[in-house]
Amino acid sequence: MPRSRYEVPIKKNQSFNLNITSMTDIFTILLVFLLQSYAASEVQIDMVEGLRLPSSSTDKNPIEGVKLSISPTELKFDQVVLAKVQNNQIEQSAIDPRDSNFIQPLFDELKKFNAANEKLAKTGKVLLQADQELPFATLRKVMYTASMAGFPNLKLVTTVGN
C-alpha cells in the first residue's frame, strides 16, 4: 500500500539532542525586548486648582518637559502666573499689539528658561495642562508662542478615562 505522506523513519535506539544555544538566543532577545518596552514614569505633574483636564485612553507615559497650565482664571509657567484669563481669553495686556497670537510674558519666561536649562530646552517639549472647556483659539496662542520661543513639541496632559 503506497504512503500518502512522507514519514521520517525513526530508529528505536535513536537519541534526541536539544540545541540550547538557539533557545538561549531567543530568550535573550525576548528579555531585551521586554526591558526596552517597560517604562516607569518619573514625571511630576502638579494639578492646578480649578482646572478640569480632558480624559483620554492613552497607554503612553508622560515625558519630561516645560510645564504650562491654563485654567479658567490664569496662565501659569510652573507655579508663576504669567497672565490672567477671563471669559476663556488671555488678558489683552499680555498679547503683543503687533501679533494677536503672541503672548509676550510667556515668550519672555520661556526664553529665560531656555537660557538656564539647556538640556531640557533642547528637547523643546511642553507639557500643557488646559481646561477642557478652553477654546482652541486660546490654546493656539499658547502653542504659537511656545513654538516661537523654541518649544515646538507640545503634549496635552489628560486624565485617564474609563
pLDDT digits over 35-74, tens only?
877 655 566 666 677 777 666 666 666 677 788 889 888 9
pLDDT tens-digit series, residues 130-150? 888 889 899 899 989 988 888
Q: Is residue 151 part of a domain?
A: yes
Query: Does residue 120 lie in a domain region?
Result: yes
Residue 148 lies in a domain: yes
Residue 160 gets which letter from DSSP? Answer: E
User: Is residue 97 domain-resident?
Assistant: yes
**Residue 93 belongs to what domain range?**
55-160
Give, in order, the Cα–Cα distances in Å from 134 to each of 32, 36, 43, 142, 153.
43, 37, 24, 12, 20
**DSSP secondary structure letters along 59-103:** -PPP---EEEEE-SSEEEETTEEEEEEETTEE-GGGB-TT-TT-B
pLDDT at 39: 56
Q: Is residue 17 part of a domain?
A: no
Q: Please, where are the H alpha helices in the chain?
A: 20-37, 104-116, 118-123, 136-148
- Please check whether residue 132 lies inside any domain of the structure: yes
Residue 12 resides in a domain: no
- pLDDT category at 83 given cuts 50, 70, 90 is very high
Average pLDDT over residues 155-160: 77
Is the pLDDT confidence value at 161 over 70?
no
Let me know if residue 142 belongs to a domain: yes
Number of independent structural domains in the chain: 1
pLDDT per residue as tens digits for the range 90-106: 999 989 999 989 999 99
